[in-house]
Structure 1
């Protein structure tokens, strides 16, 4: 596993932060932390990176305890609302970051050429940072984060301040990095970003992890049946598939994990003299799930 945490907790004088988070993240996946602003997402990343010390619990990254110095060489980090030196050119910024990683100058120069291509800034590297648009600044920030060719990349709200075009550009970079086999931990409060790029998602609220799973698992929706001549035999048969089904007149709603069960459900209705007028999956949106999980106060 790239990341493992066991009841990891970080609080400030018993308040804020996050509480008892246990999770594991596999190599090559995009894992997203989804939560409102102030939910504890950034504190969690900083604790994983060793910037903050946990209050309790433990964690491992790349098989080493949190804070291991050698492990940090294999990690890239794009903080939220970062600020770089406006008087430097894009190239100078990347070169200085390479020196901070203690890369040799020949490797830095070679890697900068690759990074500029990945983030789409070839031809703009000699411009001053102050001349960059918001989207270009975000992309040069990504360039700094991936300069050392890290195995694990942390992105904290990488698209929150961008317009739709800027968001797409950053998403495209995330897809490129995923294609290269990078493991990416994404913090965001933007539902659209999560749906488009994530392999797995954790919803965090008030410092606690409320749900975690693949998008398919989280958005697994119930089946709605419209049945003529609905009777007790039909309802009892359908309870074999979901003992907690909901009945409202001639409509029945039940949870079915596997679509391969749907023909069996239809057959059980017909065999018991029912008339199946409709069978459909209820549309389930991430926004609906998110609001149900964290509430509507402060949702952006």
Structure 2
């Protein structure tokens, strides 16, 4: 019970927004005189999916290990779910799928999940454990020994282990590296379902298309430093619309110009869309052009891809280094 003279302060604290799921500032780590991570700072909000991108050797896995307290940083600070990264109470609420892992080959999938349930200090019914395996596509292989699993099946089991304790934060280091297209789609659906439930996800992946589909924000690392970060809209820039039109009249040209800056190449027109487009601008534009007797042959949305943006940032960094 809170004393009366402390109640205003308690009410003030209760009204504060929850701390970020991940917060780090100034993380640095050197190996053999070389900076593996150099002044990395970012955060992951509750219920947010953040992608960690960059080439091999950029420091992504080292950052993840420092966040989880598996590697001690030379300098900088990190917090998980409002607690220090090394605090066991904070880490108990984190699910982690490492890039490289091995389970005892003589155990069945069900036994592996049961073992990690006990290590986490939680109690799950047999039904819950089997549902956890079914969720990652291993429902019919629960009784099979892990030694006979393909790499993709082991990856699915690792994901089930990461989720076994219903974590508030999930850290996935290359979760789809060994999966086929169906498996990647399954992981994507799981990540989106976690987001819907308010679970934060930090995702390290080389599959840029998967990152683009599920992430709210992206942090790009290059040679141990943050080369760029932001929402997909911020990183990818303004959207454009390409239209193949014939029979264009002066009133139709005016209608196009009302939408945004127009560039023309023959019968193809590229229109810059405003940032506050609520989704009705394009169908309204096509409707109005048709009403002005313009023949609309094609309508194509256009925006730089995340892959192209990533390559541009990395190549610009190489030029700066030279």
Deviation digits for residues 115-159 of structure 1 (CA, Å, limit 9, x no counterpart) = 123223222100111232333211111111111111111100111
| CA deviation profile, 1:48-79 (whole Å, cap 9, x unmatched) | 00000111111211111121111111011100
User: Could you tell me which residue of structure 2 aligns to residue 55 of structure 1?
Assistant: 74
Aligned to 2:140, the other structure's residue is in SS state: coil
Q: Which residue of 2 aligns with 1:153?
A: 170
- Contact 2:155-2:178 within 8 A present in 1 as well: no
Partner of 2:183: 166
1:79-98 map, 5 Å: 79-98=98-117
Alignment deviations for residues 74-112 of structure 1 (CA, whole Å, 9 cap, x no partner): 011100032211111000101111121122xx5364541
1:7·1:19 contact (CA, 8 Å) conserved in 2?
A: yes
1:221 CA drift (Å): 2.9
Alignment size in residue pairs? 265
Distance, in Å, in 1 between the alignment partners of 2:146 and 2:210 is 26
Distance 2:89 2:174 in 1: 26
Tell me how far apart the structure 2 counterparts of residues 98 and 258 of structure 1 sit (CA, whole Å).
Answer: 47
Change (3 A) 1:254 1:95: closer
Which consecutive residues of structure 1, in runs of 5 or more, have no partner in the other structure?
Answer: 226-240, 243-250, 263-279
Check the 8 A contact 2:218/2:232 in 1, yes or no: yes
1:64 aligns with 2:76: no
After TM superposition, the structure 1 stretch with the greater mean CA deviation from structure 2, 289-298 or 182-191, is 289-298
Q: How large is the Cα RMSD of the aligned pairs?
A: 3.5
Distance 1:126 1:297, change over 3 A: farther
Q: 2:149 aligns with which of 119, 126, 132?
A: 132
Tell me the residue number matched to 1:74.
93
In 2, the alpha carbon distance for the partners of 1:133 and 1:252 equals 48
The answer on whether the counterparts of 2:85 and 2:91 sit within 8 Å (CA) in structure 1 is: no
Query: Is 1:38 matched up with 2:47?
Result: no
**2:37 corresponds to 1:15:** no
Provide the residue aligned with 2:14 in structure 1.
Answer: none
Q: In the aligned structure 2, how far is the partner of 1:172 from the partner of 1:281?
A: 25
Long gaps (5+) in structure 2: 1-19, 243-259, 262-268, 282-299
* Segments of 4+ moved more than 6 angstroms: 222-225, 251-256
Q: State the TM-score, normalized to the length of structure 2.
A: 0.72
The answer as to whether partners of 1:34 and 1:190 remain within 8 angstroms in 2 is no
